[in-house]
Amino acid sequence: MNYLSLVFDDGPHNPMCEMVDKIRSFGWNAGFAVIGGNINEETLPMLKYAIDNGFQLVSHGQTHAHMEKLPSREAMKEEIYIPIKNVKEKLNYEMTMTRLPFLSENSEALLAAKELNLPVLGYGIHNASDWDSSVVPEAITEAVLGSVCDGAIGCLHVRGNTCKALDGILPELKKRDYRLVTPEELFKIKGITPPAGVPIHNVNNFGAKPKD
């Protein structure tokens, strides 16, 4: 059995719950990297739905800021921490990891995550720039299936075409003897304690990014 984790950025917003349902139909789980500024009375139920279905939430910053443009490490820590604080207060759920906006590997931003004792999720699978609404589901499917590997942490997005791409991605992963799990589960399965402040693209080799 091969294991990997797909973490979908930029929620909460539609079609987040539909994505949960598609993944759960295989008995699997995944993660969502949430932007604090997107959390409101309309989207809170989406987060609760994900949590109730066993999905993991991680912080994707309050405003999705370019970390290197923030004035200080303290400002970076605040950007990361505000969503953690709000989700804890509103849903009694503790987010224990982060994915830095724009997949930043800025040294100060990584130190900010380290001081918050947060592992930093990276990307170990191609996503065909699925954040761009002009990218068709077929391209996303091809990119993911062409780069998937055991232990990888995928960076995809809460987008309509990504949701459609799951219809091709998920059954093919099952055929290849893969199982989707949350990032936390992936570390436990591999027997690894993730270090804080270190970009993790693949739990088998933290520095392993997808090959071009």
pLDDT value, residue 211: 76
pLDDT value, residue 207: 85
Query: What average pLDDT does this structure show over 192-207?
Result: 94
Pick the CATH number of 2-200 from 3.30.1130.10, 3.40.50.2300, 3.40.50.300, 3.20.20.370: 3.20.20.370
pLDDT tens figures, 66-108:
999 999 999 999 999 999 999 999 999 999 999 999 999 999 9
pLDDT tens figures, 117-168:
999 999 999 999 999 999 999 999 999 999 999 999 999 999 999 999 999 9
* Mean pLDDT, all residues of the chain: 97
pLDDT value, residue 16: 98
3-state secondary structure of 63: coil
pLDDT band at 212 (very low <50, low <70, confident <90, very high): low
Q: What pTM value is reported for the model?
A: 0.97
